Structure 1
Amino acid sequence: MPAYEDFPALFRAADANSLKGQRRYLLATKFQLGALVAAAALGVFSWQVNGADVAAAASVVAFCTAVVTEVYLLKERPDRIWYEGRAVAESAKTLTWRYMVGGSPMGSEETSSDAAADLLLTRFVEIESDVEAAWLVPDGGAPEQVTTGMTRVRQLPLDERRAIYLRERIENQREWYGTKSRWNERRSTMWALALTALELLGVCAGVAKVTGVIDVDLLGVCAALAAGGTAWVQTKQHKTLAVAYAVARHELATIAFRAQQPVTEAEWATFVANAEDAVSREHTLWRASHM
């Protein structure tokens, strides 16, 4: 059973940097949207201290904070580190699985282990040439691109490689898609209800202001909250991901059912290639929706 450390240094570096970029991008986006909402809320009130409007000054500071955050996002581009790093990681992972279990074009009958390793390294070099080196900072683990664990799996009999591939690749990926699909569906529903509630609250605040019940302009605050929530939902794309992950999970279930059909190395190599194409297809669509 291949462990995380058994995967190539390229995959581990891209995976680690992608996760770091994701955390930074989402944190900065939260910070920016929060600053904009705070600026809108502070603009509603007036707090005079020694002739100066402290609330207005705080609103200006909040706007400046949002501007600084936007400059950071444009300059550092953590979103690109996230997307491109994930693309490299997934490309390296699918090539690694093809090498380990004998999938085309690195099937056991198509090429020798040495030739397959050379082809794998060539593909890695091609992947690395398409991204900035700064996005592939090593994770501090083993530097090997073809690890002992990978070679050990490749040398196993077909039935054992099949079992490992089904358990560690197909079933794990299917479970991940199922879990993420359900999680995103719940978040989509939660945000839809929250935004609807904010919009209704805005209507009530507007009516109250028009009728003179209150003299505070809460309508602007509700509008800012709703706009911020909408921007966050568009960033996370919960509904889109829920559907995409559900489709991918069902496709993997079909792949798992057909995994017992190949009986020769050539048939198995073709099966693995088709399975990896299916896994990669979902990620390609995800990446396209984020670029």
Structure 2
Amino acid sequence: MESANIKYPSLFNSSDKYSIKAQKRFTLLNKWTLIILVLSSSISSLTQENWAIWLSSALLIISTILTTLMSLLKFEKGWYEGRAVAESIKTLCWKFMTGAKPFIMELEPIDAQNKLIDNFKKLIGQRKDFFTLIGSDFAENEQLPQELITVREYDLKKRLSIYKSERLEKQKKWYTDKTQENKKWTRISFSIIIGSQILALIYLIINFKLEINITITPILISISTSFIAWMQLRRYQELSQSYLITATELSLIKSKINQVQNDVDFSNFVDDSETAISREHTLWLARRDNIELFK
């Protein structure tokens, strides 16, 4: 099976790095906000001494500051704007390399390259605010790597083999791995939510009989509520189902690879594959905002 060292344009690298950085910051802010709220609730529930009241109040102030930062810095928007741009560029590059529409093999090499650059320009025009945000580093590096041109110059058999191994199989593995990861965190989150609720119920029953002075029910409820909020934020169940469907669809599409006999067949095959990948990502974006994935 053929393999290739695929090098994407600087536009992709900058967008991808910014998206990952924004995602980490957004997740971190949310995580610490929830942790601080649980701590504040726990301290105020265990004791009403002055130090506890002051500490609980200070933690609430910190959580308010973190929430305000989330609202002002808009890390989530940077996360999915960057992801949309990066995935759009990757799709365009693979269509260019394989000779899929609109970069069909009948085009002269220079015309195909110009068409790819024009699509990059169109993408920048649609995302001016985002590219201003990530700075000028993308403008100073290569936007049409020789590796893309080299793959396009290969014969049909080699292009097909590279697309199968470097795009289809890697993308399918990514979806499969993410499916398992999200399923794992779904189980863990539900276990904590259900466990904390059961413990709270047990405590209430015991406290009714023994009249225990320490109150832990609010703490357990706070933990349960925080994990429910975290699951809503991370969308573990929803994503595991979405990734599984896309991985299955890619498997079905890959099974048709032996039917490709010429460049026209290959163009249609790549178009089907990239549509499946884009569909999953478009739905991912739609769950967060009404941002159209560039095609």
SS at match of 2:141: coil
Work out whether 1:115 is the aligned partner of 2:116. no
CA gap of 1:181–1:141, structure 2 versus 1, over 3 A, is farther
Deviation at 1:208, TM superposition (A): 3.2
Q: What is the alpha-carbon root mean square deviation over aligned residues?
A: 1.7
Q: What does residue 125 of structure 1 align with?
A: 121
SS at match of 2:214: coil
Measured in 1, the distance between the counterparts of 2:273 and 2:136 equals: 29
Deviation at 1:140, TM superposition (A): 7.2
Q: What does residue 174 of structure 2 align with?
A: 176
Q: What does residue 154 of structure 1 align with?
A: 152
Letter in 1 for 2:125: S
Q: What does residue 230 of structure 1 align with?
A: 228
One of 259, 262, 268 as aligned partner of 1:261: 259
Measured in 2, the distance between the counterparts of 1:180 and 1:230 equals: 20
Deviation at 1:209, TM superposition (A): 3.4
Measured in 2, the distance between the counterparts of 1:290 and 1:254 equals: 28
With the length of structure 2 as denominator, give the TM-score of the two structures. Answer: 0.92
- The answer to which of 85-94 and 199-208 deviates more is 199-208
Measured in 1, the distance between the counterparts of 2:29 and 2:232 equals: 15
- CA displacement 1:31-78 (0-9 Å, x = unmatched): 100111011011113364xxxx00010101110111000111001011
Measured in 2, the distance between the counterparts of 1:2 and 1:117 equals: 19
Deviation at 1:2, TM superposition (A): 4.3
CA gap of 1:213–1:225, structure 2 versus 1, over 3 A, is same
SS at match of 2:231: helix
Measured in 2, the distance between the counterparts of 1:86 and 1:173 equals: 15
Conserved? CA contact 2:11–2:138, under 8 Å: no
Deviation at 1:212, TM superposition (A): 4.1
Letter in 1 for 2:207: K
Conserved? CA contact 1:206–1:218, under 8 Å: no
SS at match of 2:259: coil
Measured in 2, the distance between the counterparts of 1:43 and 1:235 equals: 26
One of 208, 211, 216 as aligned partner of 1:210: 208
Conserved? CA contact 1:209–1:216, under 8 Å: no
Q: Alignment length, in residue pairs?
A: 285
Conserved? CA contact 2:46–2:216, under 8 Å: no
- CA displacement 1:151-176 (0-9 Å, x = unmatched): 11111111100000000000000111
Query: After superposition, where does 1:92-111 map in structure 2 within 5 Å?
Result: 92-109=89-106, 111=107
SS at match of 2:126: coil
Letter in 1 for 2:266: W
Measured in 1, the distance between the counterparts of 2:149 and 2:174 equals: 26
Deviation at 1:134, TM superposition (A): 3.6
Structure 2: stretches of 5+ with no match in the other structure: 290-295
Letter in 1 for 2:222: A
Conserved? CA contact 1:12–1:138, under 8 Å: no
Query: After superposition, where does 1:50-61 map in structure 2 within 5 Å?
Result: 53-61=50-58
Conserved? CA contact 2:179–2:239, under 8 Å: yes
Conserved? CA contact 1:105–1:269, under 8 Å: no
Conserved? CA contact 1:14–1:89, under 8 Å: yes
Report percent identity of matched pairs. Answer: 27
Measured in 2, the distance between the counterparts of 1:20 and 1:139 equals: 15
Deviation at 1:24, TM superposition (A): 0.2
Letter in 2 for 1:128: I
